[in-house]
Amino acid sequence: MVSDTIFPTAADGTFRALRIDRANGAVTASLTALTLDDLTPGEVVVRVAYSSINYKDALAATGAGAILRRFPLVGGIDLAGRVVESSDSRFAPGDPVLACGCGLGETHDGGFAELARVPAKCIERIPDGLDPRTAMIIGTAGFTAALALERIERNGQTPAQGPLLVTGATGGVGSFAVALASRRGYEVHALTGKASARDYLESLGAHEIFDRHALAGAGKPLEPARWGGGIDTVGGPILARLLASTRPNGNVAAIGLAADSKLETTVMPFILRGVSLIGVNSVHVDPELRASLWRRLAAEWDPAALERIVANEISLDELPGAFKPLLDGKVVGRTLVKVGA
């Protein structure tokens, strides 16, 4: 049991968590009281200060996507807070840490809890320049956007190749992709279904904004080459149209499937223009690269810029009602979850 002097658990040693379960084919997510003995194994116990809601979290908590590999499980693929206990010598009580991805909220109890027990391999010290709150504004969304940019640049993408199109631009990953690419000198074009988000996207650095219907529906195997490359968060026909509209030797990073998991395209963009389609998975990342990207994220942001991406900050009590609006496309930017003090 964790001492009350370290963490204010209830008198019976319990703490609150949003646990996802399945019964008779129906998935439910509800706040419940747990003890550390209820959690999946791990070397580090963290007092969670903040988490965040990602698209994957909303799919998991509502049952709209087959995210969880076991039931019941505490949701939340992100967390940030301070170490309470650690059997790993790299971490000591009081250390500010974060964990993103790494199976949290999928195969391992996640960050929607006042206490989390996490494998040490999943833990990162919060780099200088960030605190638990700002680390969770970034979270998996910002990390994934940074990883996408890293991967296309490693494959030769430069601002000189032309505008970079970001699809699903008002979502968490899309927002960070717009902002990060703009900061690196790209002319960023944003694709969105939210006409009211123009000012928001321009504040992040978008040069031009397109309605998503501009790339909706089936297109030709090759279309006029408009973009130097892209970061796609939606999949489906929009990704296919982006590939067909990318300039020679451009790179397109594929991150999400908010529109569709299917991709119906031809080999034409690949063999006639040398376009590269690069998959981005933020769960399985080399530890050195993960740490490097977090240091870069900490160095490139100031608090005012991060705050523009915060759409909502909610409590653990408000969490169960926050998933459906995200799936319905009604959220712009990031939703923070304040878990503890």
pLDDT tens digits, one per residue of 173-223: 999 999 999 999 999 999 999 989 999 999 999 999 999 888 887 789 999
Cβ-in-10-Å burial (0-12, 13-18, 19+) of 120 comes to middle
What are the residue ranges of CATH 3.40.50.720 in the chain?
Answer: 140-279
User: Which residue did the predictor score with more confidence, 155 or 68?
Assistant: 155
Q: Which CATH number, 3.40.50.10490, 3.40.50.300, 3.90.320.10, 3.40.50.720, labels domain 140-279?
A: 3.40.50.720
- Measuring CA to CA, which residue among 53, 26, 46, 175 is closest to residue 118? 46
Q: Does the pLDDT of residue 74 top 80, yes or no?
A: yes
Q: Which two tokens stand for residue 22?
A: 């399945």
CATH H superfamily, domain 15-126+309-338: Medium-chain alcohol dehydrogenases, catalytic domain (3.90.180.10)
Alpha-carbon distances, residue 96 vs 71, 132, 256, 321 (angstroms)? 29, 7, 30, 29
Q: Does the pLDDT of residue 1 top 50, yes or no?
A: no
Q: Which two tokens stand for residue 290?
A: 């993960």
Cβ-based neighbours of 276, under 8 Å, separated by 6 or more: 152, 155, 249, 250, 251, 252, 270
Please give the span between the terminal C-alpha atoms of the chain, in angstroms, as a whole number.
Answer: 19
Q: 73 in helix, strand or coil?
A: strand
Cα–Cα distance measured from residue 242 to residue 163, given in angstroms and rounded to the nearest whole number: 12
pLDDT tens digits, one per residue of 223-257: 999 999 999 999 999 999 999 999 999 999 999 88
User: For the ranges 87-96, 146-155, 193-202, 265-274, which has the lowest average pLDDT?
Assistant: 193-202
